């Protein structure tokens, strides 16, 4: 008999692993990849319903100040009355005593009927006067 030389190359192990070990690691890697993909889909909430949040309507806050106790800062918050007019109101009240009615605030220079009517809902008069 003659020695026949085969042209087949001997199987070289990949990363030092035999063919059966390579198949096992391939299947294990595919399974891990599939589990990771399923977990990612679950975490993304794909296909879940959105939640509608009902919000309360915005409430408009109306404040009131006592014209015989308010500081110039409180007067300055009113429409059309700035810091200088607020200081004038307080100075008038300190010089002439407490206001007897809300209409008496028109005696302050710079406050007319129009400004008073715009801010009337914010003004109250405490009958006891200043503390």
pLDDT averaged over consecutive 10-residue blocks of the chain (131 residues)? 58 76 92 94 77 81 89 93 95 94 93 93 75 50
Residues 6+ apart with CB under 8 A from 107: 92, 96
Torsion, Cα 39 44 48 54, to 10 degrees, reads 140
pLDDT computed for residue 30 by the predictor? 96
- Give residue 129's pLDDT: 46
* Residues facing residue 123 across a β-bridge: 65
Backbone angles phi, psi at 67, to 5 degrees: -70, -15
Ordered by start, the domain boundaries in the chain are: 65-124
Fold of 65-124: DNA polymerase; domain 1 (1.10.150)
Alpha-carbon distance 18 to 11, whole Å? 9
Whether the predicted model's global pTM rises above the 0.75 cut: no
The backbone torsions φ and ψ at residue 80, rounded to the nearest 5 degrees and listed phi first, read 80, 0
């Amino acid at each position: 008999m003659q020695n026949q030389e085969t042209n087949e190359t001997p199987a070289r192990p990949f990363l030092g692993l035999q063919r059966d070990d390579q198949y096992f690691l391939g299947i294990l890697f595919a399974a891990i990849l599939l589990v990771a993909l399923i977990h990612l889909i679950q975490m993304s909430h794909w296909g879940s319903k959105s939640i509608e949040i009902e919000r309360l309507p915005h409430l408009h806050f109306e404040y009131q100040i006592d014209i015989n106790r308010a500081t110039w800062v409180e007067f300055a918050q009113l429409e059309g009355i700035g810091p200088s007019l607020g200081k004038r109101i307080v100075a008038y009240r300190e010089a002439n005593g407490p206001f007897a009615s809300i209409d008496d605030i028109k005696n302050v220079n710079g406050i007319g009927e129009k400004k008073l009517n715009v801010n009337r809902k914010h003004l109250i008069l405490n009958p006891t006067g200043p503390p």
